[in-house]
A = this chain, B = another copy of it.
Amino acid sequence: MKSTLAPAQPRTSASLFAPIAADLDEVERILRQTLNNARPGVDRLLAHLAHYKGKRLRPALLLLTALACGKVTSAHHLLAAVVEMIHTATLVHDDVLDSASVRRHVSTVNSLWGNQTSILLGDYLFTHAFHLSSTLDDVRACRIIGEATNRLCAGELQQICGRGNIDLSEDEYFAIIDAKTAELTACSSKLGAMYAGMSDEVIDRMTNFGRSLGLAFQIADDVLDLIGEETLAGKSLGTDLEQQKLTLPIIHLLQSTSPEQARRGRSILTAAGNHKREALLPELHAAGSLEYARQRAEGLVSSALADLECLPPSPGRSILEALADRVVHRDH
């Protein structure tokens, strides 16, 4: 049975992740083994998730943190599978929320089997991840993962409740992405450091590292949603605008530029029609809003790199530095 989250090679970062290639393989094995469900109909859904395999950012972050902290253990492998499963659960539900039809160059679960199946499949993955984390026999892992995942959901809920709010502030935007994205990357780094036996201080610094990285990643993703090309990104773009979710460049355009630029931006956003992305791009360029978002992301990466200095120089730390750099310098 091919119930697996990942049969193929990672699409990117393969060379960067070479020192943890065997560990990532072990994570894939755990995902394959644990998601082997024989219930009629469920097996082919789990098999489809194999196509969702992306950059494996969260498990790689957890494993690389462990490596940089001195040792990668079997607990790290299991927890890396858990964070990837939670991430996949959120993707499955996000695709319903966004009515997305394509993810990682293939049809989404919702487009193939409908929203109902997607909702239940996401629930299945969430609960499976919690059960898997409990097999570690350490309640700390359950607590950290339960709390992070709950904050993640609260952030998504806050975002959807704030849809259409054209006055969303930068602070509110950061509160949302801190919860919906950075919480899980912070949790990944935290677990990497904790299960490598680090001190509380190092665990805190590495948690901050993961948080800054997650924030920077989300800002880069939000910029990509505005300026990217769908063929490269392998997913539907412009969905934030369609869903009336304000992101950092848009907030900058509306709130930190000249009154005339802000007025034009507001007018495009509130107009009828589906070509907001094309109409907004020249405004965003002219107002320096995309550049502003990029700078904020780079500032967060600098902060992340400073936190890394709590660890001695090592090949593991160097890869984390390269990973942080890649977050803001990707083109898809």
Residues in chain A within 8 A of chain B (CB atoms) = 37, 39-42, 45, 93, 96-97, 115-117, 119-124, 126-128, 130-139, 142-143, 145-147, 149-150, 152-158, 160-162, 172, 175
Contacts and interface: CB of A to CB of B under 8 A. Distances in A.
A137 B143 CA distance: 9
B150 A128 contact: yes
Contact of A146 (B134, B147, B153, B161): B134
B124 A126 contact: no
Contacts of A175: 39
Contact of A154 (B37, B116, B143, B155): B37
Contact of A130 (B93, B96, B123, B149): B149
Contact of A40 (B119, B127, B153, B162): B162
Given A97-B119, A158-B41, A124 B143 contact: no
A42 B161 CA distance: 7
Copies of chain A in the complex: 2
Contact of A117 (B45, B146, B160): B160
B153 A127 contact: yes
Contact of A150 (B119, B131, B157): B131
26 contacts: A37-B154, A39-B154, A39-B155, A39-B157, A39-B158, A40-B161, A41-B157, A41-B160, A41-B161, A93-B119, A115-B115, A117-B157, A117-B160, A119-B122, A121-B157, A123-B126, A123-B156, A126-B126, A126-B127, A131-B143, A131-B149, A133-B146, A134-B142, A135-B143, A136-B139, A142-B142
| 4 pairs of A and B residues whose beta carbons are closest in the complex | A41-B161, A131-B146, A134-B143, A127-B150
A168 B88 CA distance: 31
A155 B172 CA distance: 38
Given A127-B149, A142-B142, A154 B119 contact: no
Contacts of A124: 150, 153-154, 157
A121 B157 CA distance: 7
B126 A97 contact: no
Contacts of A147: 131, 134
Nearest to A98: B116
A117 to B, nearest CB: 6
Contacts of A133: 142, 146
Given A116-B160, A124-B150, 18 more contacts: A39-B158, A39-B175, A40-B172, A41-B158, A41-B162, A42-B158, A42-B161, A93-B119, A96-B116, A119-B119, A126-B127, A127-B146, A127-B149, A128-B153, A131-B143, A132-B146, A137-B139, A139-B142
A325 to B, nearest CB: 32
B135 A152 contact: no
Contacts of A128: 150, 153
| Of listed A122, A123, A132, residue having the most chain B CB within 10 A | A123
A156 B126 contact: no
Contacts of A142: 130, 133-134, 139, 142, 146
A145 B130 CA distance: 9
